[in-house]
Amino acid sequence: MPPTRQFARVTSEYLDRCRASALSSSDASPGWDPTGDPDGDAEFLNDEKIYDGFGDPPRLLTPTAVTDIAVALDPIRLDDLLSELPTSTEEAATARGFGAGFGGDVRAHLTEHFVAVREFCRAAAYHSRCVVTQVDRTPAPRP
């Protein structure tokens, strides 16, 4: 399974509880259940039970950074950007790095994910939430 970028909206208070748990536990476990801002302090979330050590550890986006991202995403006219893609599915998929075998509608796929990230950031900003982001490289379960 290819790696996926995961995002979690969390309150500052929740992060404080995770930090306290990591500081007080014998194995430095933050006790966090994941359902960057390079200056954000999220090192305590770097727990071997959650993060496998490949790639970057979890990153923290502060409420201010989340608001900045939400504001920056709002004026983007996605249709204008997508008009630059090649017309054939194969060429568009290659241009976006999807690789061989992508059989879906590239524009629809990019639109769906862009809109989801924009709405996610808007909601996090509205509620003054932090966002923790990490790359998940967990293999898919075998049937």
Query: What does the pLDDT read at residue 41?
Result: 58
Can you list the positions of beta strands (E) in the chain? 4-10, 59-61, 130-136
Alpha-carbon Rg for the chain in angstroms: 18
Structure tokens at 28: 């430095």
Cβ contact 64:40 at 8 Å? no
Query: What does the pLDDT read at residue 123?
Result: 94
As a whole number of angstroms, the distance between CA 76 and CA 26 comes to: 47
Residue-level pLDDT, tens digit, the chain, 143 residues: 455 677 888 888 888 888 888 888 887 777 666 564 444 556 656 656 555 555 667 788 889 999 999 999 999 999 998 998 888 888 888 888 876 677 788 889 889 999 999 999 999 999 999 998 877 665 545 44
Does the domain spanning 4-136 belong to CATH 3.40.50.720? no
| Per-position b or e across 94-131, b if 16+ CB within 10 A of its CB | eeeebeeebeeebbeebeeeeeeebebbbebbeeebbb
Q: Where along the chain do its domains lie?
A: 4-136
